[in-house]
Amino acid sequence: MFADPLQRLVPPNRAHPFGTDENGIDVLSRLIAAPRTDVLIAVIATTLSLAIGAPLGVVTGYFEGADRRAMRWISEATLRLLDVIQAFPVFILAMVLVAIRGTGPANVVFAVAFVNFPVFLRLVRSEILALREHLYAEAALALGNSELGVGFKHLLPNAWPTVLVQVSVTIGFAVLLTAGLSFVGAGVSPPTPELGAMIASGAKFLVIGQWWVAMFPGLLLGLIVFTFAVMGDVASKLMEPGQHAIASGRLSKNDRITPPAHGESAAPSAKGAVLSLRGLTIEADSRPAVLNGVSFDLMPGEILGVVGLPGSGKSTLVRAIVRLLGYGLRQQAGHVFFRGKDLADLDEKTLRAIRGYEILPLLANPKSQLNPLVRTGDFMVAHIRAHHRSSRREAHARAARMLSTIGIGDAEHWLAAYPHELSGGMAQRVCLAIALVHRPPLIVADEPTAGLDVTVQRQVLDLMIELCHQNGAAQVLATRELGIVAHYCDRVAVLHEGLIVEAGPVRDVLLAPRHAVTRRLIAAADLRAVTAPARTNTSLKIVR
């Protein structure tokens, strides 16, 4: 690559596929060399901005609102300084920094890193604010870790997937910013090959028809920025849960939930049964047979307790019934009949109409089921109006009556509350009200009292069972507590490694267990007496 004054501004030809510039230098040769400058500056600048922004993001996020006044002030001061920096247009601020320090690759790196580090600081801060509330963060503190140690060792690694996606996008933006600075003469100086400078030097020849000098560098610049943007999008999708199997080719998108083959003959559901499972087999990419040939029938008003050791498949069974398996799980075989209809044959629109209205899941950790940014009343109103044509005022009144029905006083106050203002028991009562507002014939509950104290557990279960029996609703109650099953359920099924190893009436199974797993569960529960399922004496009336 050398200058040849006799070859100035030669159009594209065999010798020079992209033509030559005003100095007689082959454009293609400069295009091959230029990305090294732009991409290297962008990568170094992005790495520097990440190295500065991520630690500051951990500190500001972890100590924001903390009891230690000094750390809280440092966090607030950092955020206010960021507000000042980000008040200036990015390109103008970068130009000013280069003008102060002078042109050259090192100063361009400094300028690009300075304008980009607030992006990583705010991103890491937002991730830390969410992650610091997780139980494992509290557990790490309880084990004697320092606050900064928890932030950097436990929380920051969990934020890396989101941060790494932003890195790719920021590199593309940094390439564009570097080229922009060089375009206005504030970046890399000639004769160093650089895309922005090449576009600037060739722009003046466009008016006389010599387009190739500026067009080819411009196309390459756009391609580089586009490539890094696509890389960020691909990285984001690959980091989603359940995507590892898809990326490796072992599982396609359509295989996430695979209905049984239509050629298979489905055994009919029992006459009059609300729910019938026939040979239900659920497989996961990581391990086969999460559920293996599960079959049972559930009649109206009947309560079936599903018990088992952790990892036995109880939660998967609940999600399979409502067809919410999620990524990485698929229905390999079997059928789920609801009122005689195979749910695998229903389209998504029909299934949505059934789910939440006729089949309603009641899951563990009730606060996680409520949108933290939506008031309780708005959430209930949206649920009511999704399945019942009514005005907002009518739906609100119906929600208030339902809260009163389940024993929540001052319903209007709690309808205006956000989920974080509710206790665990109150949140579970709200979820119960949502579950029963449409009088669903089937409720599928997964550890509905997990995390609640014994008194609140009893209150919630009494309400749930009484209201279900008043409506004639059937219920699948998945729990690890045999005491709950003995007190509230009509029949029990014992799950072990995806198989129902024992099933029958509660009294028969608990008084004369045949399987070793059942005996282990009974011994762990220390059941001293098994009685018929309890029926509360509370007088409740559903108000529609």
496 neighbors 307 (Cβ within 8 angstroms): no
pLDDT at residue number 412: 87
Tell me, which fold does domain 35-239 have in CATH?
Answer: MetI-like fold (1.10.3720)
pLDDT at residue number 458: 80
d(C-alpha 70, C-alpha 74), whole Å: 6
Residue found under tokens 């920051």: 156
Domain boundaries, the chain: 35-239
Q: Is the dihedral of CA 176, 181, 187, 190 positive or negative?
A: positive
111 neighbors 178 (Cβ within 8 angstroms): no
Which of 418, 493, 480 minimizes the C-alpha distance to 446? 480
Q: pTM for the whole thing?
A: 0.52
DSSP states along 50-69: HHHHHHHHHHHHHHTT-S-H
267 neighbors 335 (Cβ within 8 angstroms): yes
Q: How many CA atoms lie within 13 A of 58 on its CB side?
A: 20
d(C-alpha 42, C-alpha 17), whole Å: 28
pLDDT at residue number 43: 92
Strand order of the β-sheet with 491-496 is 359-362, 442-446, 474-478, 303-308, 491-496, 499-505
pLDDT at residue number 247: 42
503 neighbors 494 (Cβ within 8 angstroms): yes
pLDDT at residue number 327: 57
Strand order of the β-sheet with 341-342 is 291-298, 275-284, 329-338, 341-342
Which of 308, 479, 384 minimizes the C-alpha distance to 460? 479
For residue 191, whether the previous peptide bond is cis, meaning omega lies within 30 degrees of 0, is yes
Residue found under tokens 């099933």: 503
Mean pLDDT by 10 residues, the chain (544 residues): 73 86 83 87 93 90 70 81 86 87 84 91 88 70 69 83 86 88 80 83 83 88 87 70 42 39 50 86 73 88 88 84 73 85 81 76 71 79 78 87 79 85 79 76 82 72 76 85 85 89 90 88 68 43 34
pLDDT at residue number 183: 84
pLDDT at residue number 260: 41
Q: Is the dihedral of CA 436, 438, 440, 444 positive or negative?
A: negative
Which of 528, 542, 375, 352 minimizes the C-alpha distance to 463? 542
510 neighbors 530 (Cβ within 8 angstroms): yes
Residue found under tokens 């996606």: 165
pLDDT at residue number 341: 85
How does 285-301 read in b/e, with b if 16+ C-beta sit within 10 Å?
beeeebbbebebbbbeb
Strands 491-496 and 303-308: parallel
212-238 and 27-63 helices, crossing angle to 10°: 40
